[in-house]
Amino acid sequence: MKPKTSCPSCLILLTFALFSTIFAVTLLARRYAHDDTRKTTVAERRRLLRLTDPKSVTSKDLSEVAWRQVAPSQQISCNLDGTSCLDPIGIVGEWVHLPDRTFAAPVCCDLRTELRKSPDVCGTEEGNRKFYSGFPSYPQQTDGNGCRCEEMNFTDDYEWRSPHLPQTFNPVDTCRLLGNRTAMFVGDSTMAQTATTLMNSLLPGKCQMQVMFAESDTLVGRSFGVLNRGKTWKDWVNEVMPDITVVTVGAHVSSEDALYLGLVDEVLSGMIEMQSRHPRMKFVWRTQTPGGCTNEIISPRDVNVAAQYSTEHFRGLYNYETFYRRDLLLLDRLNRAKIPYLDMRMLYSRSDAHVSVFPGGPVRGDCIHWCSPGPLDVIGRLFHQLLNEEL
């Protein structure tokens, strides 16, 4: 009996059909097994797309900390629980030695009458520590002992240069960018110095009266171990209704980082919610102005080295060693929330320009407030950049 003739093509077709059937069944099983997860993922993606625009955030979205859902910055990398961050690039630029440099805000008028310059220079208006705007014709008065550095013949011979900032400050052009909008700076006494320097920088552009300062040491009206002066940031915003609100916090938060981060999260969620109700409002955050006193400028060509120095060498000096670490934690959250910021980390090099750096000087124990005129003069160019690129 002859054996049956084999059919190679039939075997190939049969094998192909068998594997096709198995593959189709597997795909179908996976689809049904993961269908609920797939739908959830799509819904989540749609919600995340809404959250990238603060105007579209709803009260339901705010049941969570909505900003957490936005993709983080590619530059700053943090651990999974967001309690420690690194910035491999850091702030770009250097402090250039320029003897006889010019200042955008060259005059310092002390808040205290007995220390103030003559009326033809500083006027006769009386300042207010809690809330104020730029004066119509004269420089606004400075608190924080900034004017006392002149008694020690302090002159700032360094200017910040960065490819990310205009080399010179143009107050007329900055006022043009501001238009008829108002900007309110909310925070502690370091924020008051920042706001005052900006007001006085804008005098030639004639929009200094549109810039305001409002006192709020902790932003939320609760004590975190130090002072808690002023109204909450929300109370100030609801009272003044500015177009632009710039906030900062940190110098009066001496407790652990977890409480600081909880405070930041609370304010960010409030900003997103308020902007959803008032779309014209813009919110900005300012990094901390570093503390610490040294005889010389630190690492003028690499601020990132100076920031590390402040972390290692200012331990026990109030809470200064926490500032840079918290700045990175803050910047990571701001990038996620898509909230613009005034990045003033270049000041980590300038521990030589605080009001108590002078041996035997008139002010003791103050390594947080700045000599004026001095490094804070950079705020004019930073504000111009903010208006031009973010607002």
Decide if 9 is inside a domain: no
Contacts of 143 (CB under 8 A, 6+ apart): 111, 127, 129, 189, 192, 193, 196
Decide if 51 is inside a domain: no
- What's the number of CA atoms in the CB half-sphere (13 Å) around residue 378? 23
User: Could you tell me the residue range of the domain that residue 99 belongs to?
Assistant: 57-389
Return the pLDDT at 74: 52
CA 106/CA 125 separation, integer angstroms: 19
Q: Are 156 and 347 in contact (CB under 8 A)?
A: no
Return the pLDDT at 159: 98
Which DSSP state fits 356? T
Give the dihedral sign, CA 218/216/66/319.
Answer: negative
Q: Are 193 and 371 in contact (CB under 8 A)?
A: no
Decide if 14 is inside a domain: no
Tokens representing residue 89 in the block: 């690039």
On the question of a cis peptide bond just before residue 119, with omega within 30 degrees of 0, the verdict is no
Decide if 350 is inside a domain: yes
Return the pLDDT at 81: 78
Measure the CA dihedral 97/98/103/106, to 10°.
Answer: 100
Q: Are 185 and 212 in contact (CB under 8 A)?
A: yes
CA 239/CA 233 separation, integer angstroms: 10
CA-based radius of gyration for the chain: 28
Decide if 116 is inside a domain: yes
N-to-C CA span, the chain: 93
Predicted confidence pLDDT, tens digits, the chain (391 residues): 444 444 555 555 555 555 555 544 444 344 333 333 333 333 333 333 333 333 333 333 333 344 343 444 458 889 887 788 999 888 899 999 999 999 999 999 999 888 888 889 999 888 788 999 999 999 999 988 999 999 999 999 999 999 999 999 999 999 999 999 999 999 999 999 999 999 999 999 999 999 999 999 999 999 998 999 999 999 999 999 999 999 999 999 987 899 999 999 999 999 999 999 999 999 999 999 999 999 999 999 999 999 888 878 887 778 899 999 999 999 999 999 999 999 999 999 999 999 999 988 889 889 999 999 999 999 999 999 999 999 8
Tokens representing residue 353 in the block: 């320009």
Amino acid making up residue 260: Y
What stretches of the chain adopt beta strand conformation (E)? 77-78, 85-86, 94-97, 109-110, 131-133, 141-142, 158-161, 183-187, 211-215, 244-247, 282-286, 341-342
Give the sheet arrangement for strand 183-187, strand by strand: 131-133, 211-215, 183-187, 244-247, 282-286, 341-342
Decide if 44 is inside a domain: no
Q: What pTM did the predictor assign?
A: 0.81
Total domains in the fold of the chain? 1
Q: What DSSP assignment string belongs to 25-68?
A: HHHHHHHHHTHHHHHHHHHHHHHHHHHTSGGG--TTGGGS-GGG
Measure the CA dihedral 321/316/306/262, to 10°.
Answer: 10
How many CB atoms sit inside 10 A of residue 71's CB?
Answer: 10
Task: Write the CATH number for 133.
Answer: 3.40.50.1110
The phi, psi pair for 175, rounded to 5°, reads -65, -35
Decide if 366 is inside a domain: yes
Q: Are 356 and 293 in contact (CB under 8 A)?
A: yes
Decide if 249 is inside a domain: yes
Residue reference for tokens 């008051």: 192
